[in-house]
Structure 1
Amino acid sequence: MELPIPKSETSVGGSQTVDRALVVLKIIASANRPVPLEEVASRSDLHKSIAYRLLRSLENAGFIGRDPSVGGYTLAATFLSLSVLAVSRIDIRRQARPMMEEIVALHGETASLHVRSGDLRVCVDVVEGSHTVRRVVPIGETLPLYAGETGRVLMSDLSNTELDPLLAAAAKEGLNATRIRTDVSRTREQGYFMGIGIRTPDVGSISVPIYGAVGPLGAVTVSGPASRWSRAAMKKALPSILRNVKKVSLALGSKGPPGKA
């Protein structure tokens, strides 16, 4: 038996409309069948007209949809995609850690894992290189999305509408927005980005995207001193890095873009 939502969950918080919409969404999400308007209104203790307006708003946003065969409301693609993406991002560190350790064991350079957070990128895990002199990347480091090799990879799946304001922000910081755009385009084509001194002088980096069931989840970057981790050294290591990253993408539910890791 499906119980009404507790009164405490329909109380006014920071925004009554948002609070009510979340209650309605919870009712739809918790049911294993289409839920009719009348039931939503009853279980949420809302007037039918208010419940209808909230359902329409959630429907317009792509979170719920109407079942044309039996009537009632069910979860829609946008909500389901976001749910899968959230679960995948929670799982990405666990899945990526052995791969990063393998890369460090093979090549000796630091491997770092980064995810996008709005217009920023955040380092969420690091396996330090085995050399005495090595690249140090602090966990929690937060930078603009356009910064460095990793940024090129994290921006490579963005549309031009999403990319343009980031490039404008980069230009305001004195960076070459045209070069960044070219680098992003190259990354889209080849499925990785390799550079030396893009953000930090005398540091070489290879960055590769990690994909999940609903698209890009983050990027792993392998970096070290350019005197050792040179372009020639990175090209030699690239096939094994791509293979290792692709295994993680597959484990996270992605078949991956054609020709990419």
Structure 2
Amino acid sequence: MTNETAAPRNAGTETAGRAADVLLLFAGGPQHLGAGAISRELGISEAVVHGILQSLASRELLETAPGTAGYRLGPAALALGVSALRGFNVRNVAAPVLRRLRDETGETTALSGLVGDERVYLDQFESPHEVRMTVEVGRRLPLHAGSPGRVILAFLPRERREAVLARPLAALTGRTVTDAAALRAQLAKTAAEGVAVSLGERQPDAGSVAAPLFGPDGEVHGSVSVCGPRHRFTSEAVERYRTLVRDAADEIGLNWTRPA
């Protein structure tokens, strides 16, 4: 009896392990993968991979990637990522720093997290000004437009960054950079300076300055930003905010591993 019940249990464990391995390939590598590439990477047959992909897609953990023969992370996987990020103590660690940054700048401050090949706002502290910018917590946004996303993109591993740049880049405003070559140059400058500045890239009348947020593993996991009406983001204000957001992101990153 023991042998009869052990086989199905072991088979189920193996299937679950393979499905987890497939998902982890998307988390740590290219954002679009086909059955052939997954089969070669994991050393399992394409028939088995197809079955896993279909099962994961039926639960919206994966979805077909438009314009390719492959798959990408689906909305259910992104939702899990958001939940995981919210569970990190980073939000509790970041709260007093974001509040102080809001008081120092007089503008709205925000924490963004990397989820798949997009970002989401995890928290914000609103400006006291009557005319101010606010962000939508939990909303999925592209990485190429706006300083909070662009500074994350600049510090991603090259393979992941190039996967984002290989896709069509939507023009959210007339100032959004959509040419991959031009964006690479902009990202190189962002990486060298350790901060990104946006004036009307994602929203026409918005300005923002952002710095990357690195996790305990040394990888970029999000960003810290200051945002407000574009007319208040003068050259003098932007220069001041550069230092403030870098210092805030560094402080949050250093304290991330401590219990909240």
- Category of TM-score, reference length = shorter chain: 0.5 to 0.7
Q: Secondary structure at the match of 2:198?
A: strand
| 1:236 paired residue number | 240
Q: Following TM superposition, by how much is the alpha carbon of 1:161 offset from its aligned partner in structure 2, in angstroms? A: 2.2
1:240 Cα deviation after fit: 2.8
- Asked if structure 2 preserves the Cα contact closer than 8 Å seen for 1:146 and 1:170, the reply is no
Does 2:21 correspond to 1:17? no
* CA pair 188-104 structure 1, distance change in 2 beyond 3 A: same
Query: Where does residue 54 of structure 2 map in the other structure?
Result: none
Q: How far 1:167 sits from its partner (Å)?
A: 1.3
Structure 2: runs of 5+ lacking an equivalent = 20-41, 44-83, 172-176
Post-superposition offset of 1:178: 2.4
Name stretches of at least 5 consecutive residues in structure 1 with no aligned partner: 1-5, 23-55, 58-85, 255-261
- The residue identity in structure 2 corresponding to 1:130 is P
- 1:225-251 deviations in Å (ceiling 9; x for gaps): 111122321212332332222111111
User: Given that residues 101 and 109 in structure 2 are in contact (C-alpha distance below 8 angstroms), is that contact kept between their aligned partners in structure 1?
Assistant: yes
Amino acid in the other structure paired with 2:14: T
Report the aligned-residue RMSD: 3.1
Q: Number of aligned pairs?
A: 186
Residue equivalent to 1:63: none
Percent identity, please: 28
What TM-score does the superposition give when structure 2 sets the normalisation length?
0.62
TM superposition shift of 1:11: 7.3
Aligned to 1:147: 145
Letter in 1 for 2:16: D
Q: For 1:99-110, what aligned pairs fall within 5 Å after superposition?
A: 99-110=97-108
1:251 maps to: 255
Residue among 184, 188, 194 paired with 2:187: 184
Deviation at 1:223, TM superposition (A): 0.5
Q: Which residue of 1 aligns with 2:131?
A: 133
Q: Counterpart amino acid of 2:202?
A: R
The answer for the alignment partner of 1:226 in structure 2 is 230
- 1:239 aligned partner, one-letter code: T
Deviations along 1:13-45, one digit per CA (max 9) or x if unpaired, are 6xx5233679xxxxxxxxxxxxxxxxxxxxxxx
Evaluate the alpha carbon distance shift between residue 194 and residue 242 of structure 1 in structure 2; reply closer, same or farther with a 3 A threshold: same
- Deviations 1:57-78 (CA, angstroms, capped at 9, x unpaired): 8xxxxxxxxxxxxxxxxxxxxx
- Partner Cα separation in structure 1 for residue 85 and residue 133 of structure 2: 30
| Aligned match of 2:206 | 203
How many Å apart are 1:10 and its aligned residue? 3.4
> What residue is the counterpart of 2:32 in the other structure?
none
Give, in whole Å, the separation in 1 of the partners of 2:86 and 2:202.
Answer: 29
Is the 8 Å Cα contact of residues 155 and 212 (structure 2) preserved in structure 1?
A: no
Normalised to the residue count of structure 1, the TM-score between the two structures is 0.62
Q: What is the alpha-carbon distance in structure 2 between the residues aligned to residue 166 and residue 233 of structure 1?
A: 31
Give secondary structure in 1 for the equivalent of 2:183: helix
